[in-house]
Structure 1
Amino acid sequence: MKIKDSVVFITGANRGLGLAYARAALAAGAKKVYAAARDPKFITLEGVHAVALDVTKPEQVEAAARACGDVTLLVNNAGISRGSGLLSPEAMDTARAEFETNFFGPWALSRAFAPVLAKNGGGAIVNVLSALSWISLPGAATYSTSKSATWSLSNGLRNELREQGTQVVSVHVAFMDTDMASHVPGDKTSPDDVAKQTFAAVEAGLPEVLADAVTRQVKQGLVADPPAYAAAR
């Protein structure tokens, strides 16, 4: 599909990568861009349609799908990271919160918008994942489990939505220059570059984006001996 003249719905669009997706969609000539956030007053980009949406609230997800019946491209971008290991005292509560946003949120949005996309010719779903879908770091292990589950979700959705002509694209990226990674030292990928790569992959019909060198290295390491996910960190 083409981004030009498409109707794009983006979650977590008030800042970071979500805001970059909104800018990129407008620049590519999208006919309409819905920018969703828990509090729409933080949507300040001109030219978008602000939508109040907490992806962890099923009734809000369903309402968004009913109200935005012209969508052809869904971007599941909203995500959180609470920074917890698996054995820390708060790990279970942290994981539940991360799964609600990072896994159940995209699942609910995809279910709600699948009939909309079918009605509008198939379209596409983009799920923003991570290099941590494949490996686990000590301080972000619960986040990794949520992103790993969402990678599996993306692969399953791709199979189930193929018949209706809906493309599913998984976006894997390491550290980006956003608030979520502000505490991490070193080089970071520009969210604007990730957005451009994503829309190029949608237009090319690709199933996956490996947005930076670290992510590509991690993916290659999955078939190493020992594999990257088994290496000490």
Structure 2
Amino acid sequence: MDITDQVALVTGANRGIGRRFVDELLARGARKVYATARRTDSAEARELAALDRVEVLSLDITDHASVVAAARTATDVTLLINNAGISTATPLVTGDLDVIRREMDTHFWGTLDMIREFAPTLAAAGGGAVVNVLSALSWFSFPGNGAYAAAKAAEWNMTNGVRLDLAAQGTLVQGVHLGAADTDIMAGYDGPMIDPAVVPRASFDGLAAGAIEVVVDEWSSMVKASLAHDPAALYAQIAPAA
């Protein structure tokens, strides 16, 4: 897929990686970008609304009615970018179950709902593409982040499943994996972080090559490679007591 003249919808577009997706879409000549956010009255949303070729839409991906309304409005979408996410730093055994369910509602059910509602629109446009922003934590877990990791793992295999489901209508489904990016969601993290602008660049270069999976950084590459080996070696590095 060449981004030029595409009509894209980006979830969680008001800041972080989502905002970088909007910027990269415009830089690559997208005809129109639907930039979605739960709050369209925020300063970030107003800033987006002032951009040429950008239309701001209210969207909460955990609310089915909100997803349906967005799909009924954005009927010309050819590229769906599922970026919206949360990170609650909740452990699975001792954490609040309602919070753990919110992680799954966002990353798995909300993203799946978006794909289901926009699939007919993409089919009508000749297939188009779906990009799901995933994580290195799709492939491992880390102490205190079990809820996020479980939700991302579910989203990863959901991405693989919908890719098969949508192949017949010609829709390319891409998963994008990264470690830590320098965004608000990683506030307080003191490890190495990538520039979030790298993520959409890698994704769109991958779309141009027809790549169904993009691994953005060295950390994600290392974790993916570790899956072929005894997991004890990886967990000895990140959680010695495991």
Query: TM-score if structure 2 supplies the norm length?
Result: 0.93
Q: What residue number does 1:140 align with?
A: 145
Identity %: 45
Task: Within 5 Å, give how 1:95-134 maps onto structure 2.
Answer: 95-134=100-139
Q: What residue number does 1:201 align with?
A: 206
Where 2:8 maps in the other structure, the secondary structure is strand
| 1:56 counterpart = 2:62 | yes
Aligned residues: 232
| Partner Cα separation in structure 2 for residue 226 and residue 219 of structure 1 | 11
| Partner Cα separation in structure 2 for residue 191 and residue 183 of structure 1 | 16
Q: What residue number does 2:80 align with?
A: 74
Q: Is the 8 A contact 1:70 1:120 kept in 2?
A: yes
Q: What residue number does 2:219 align with?
A: 214
Distance 1:202 1:227, change over 3 A: farther
Query: TM-score if structure 1 supplies the norm length?
Result: 0.96
Distance 1:50 1:226, change over 3 A: closer
- Gaps spanning 5+ residues in structure 1: where? none
| Partner Cα separation in structure 1 for residue 234 and residue 158 of structure 2 | 19
Distance 1:228 1:113, change over 3 A: farther
What is the Cα deviation at residue 230 of structure 1?
Answer: 5.6
The one-letter code sitting in structure 2 at the alignment partner of 1:209 is V
Where 1:214 maps in the other structure, the secondary structure is helix
Q: What residue number does 2:41 align with?
A: 41
Q: What residue number does 2:159 align with?
A: 154
What is the Cα deviation at residue 99 of structure 1?
Answer: 0.9
After TM superposition, which residue ranges in structure 1, 4 or more long, deviate above 3 angstroms? 226-232
What is the Cα deviation at residue 225 of structure 1?
Answer: 2.6
- Gaps spanning 5+ residues in structure 2: where? none
Q: What residue number does 2:29 align with?
A: 29
